[in-house]
């Protein structure tokens, strides 16, 4: 009775709305001699690149045999408008200039204190 089952992929957005992504039915053939033994079968599913920030939510997988349902813990995905952006050269120059001015300031303070003695 466990050889026929369905797999459901869906996500729940921040408003609690459930959206179906993909469903598939499976009929697994059990080889002779393997009856009444526990077996694990992995199923991979790739989703298309997220279209926009409204794709943020928790993505789930659920398997259903006859009257039994098992659901995964889910994976939270945060979709952002812009991914990682390399810092511009202007920011690098600003950091270098700030470091140089800090070093000169410390040196000048040390020289003033040394000359005072």
Q: What's the length of the chain?
A: 117
CB atoms inside a 10 Å sphere around CB 65: 13
**pLDDT computed for residue 106 by the predictor:** 93
**pLDDT computed for residue 50 by the predictor:** 63
Model confidence pTM above 0.75? no
**pLDDT computed for residue 107 by the predictor:** 93
**pLDDT computed for residue 104 by the predictor:** 94
CB 59 within 8 A of CB 71: no
Supply φ then ψ for residue 50, to 5 degrees.
-65, 135
User: Which residue positions in the chain have pLDDT lower than 70?
Assistant: 1, 47-53, 81-85, 87, 117
Cα separation of 35 and 50, whole Å? 41
**pLDDT computed for residue 39 by the predictor:** 74
**pLDDT computed for residue 51 by the predictor:** 64
**pLDDT computed for residue 105 by the predictor:** 95
Residue 98, CA atoms < 13 Å, CB-side half-sphere: 6
């Amino acid at each position: 009775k466990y050889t026929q089952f369905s797999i459901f992929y869906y996500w729940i957005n921040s408003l609690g709305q459930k959206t179906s992504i993909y469903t598939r039915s499976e009929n697994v053939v059990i080889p002779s001699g393997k009856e009444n033994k526990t077996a694990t079968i992995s199923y991979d599913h790739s989703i298309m690149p997220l279209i926009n920030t409204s794709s943020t939510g928790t993505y789930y997988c659920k398997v259903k045999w006859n009257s039994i349902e098992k659901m995964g813990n889910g994976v939270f995905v945060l979709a952002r408008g812009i991914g990682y952006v390399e810092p511009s050269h202007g920011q690098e120059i600003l950091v270098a200039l700030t470091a140089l001015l800090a070093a000169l300031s410390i040196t000048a303070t040390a020289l003033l204190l040394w000359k005072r003695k």
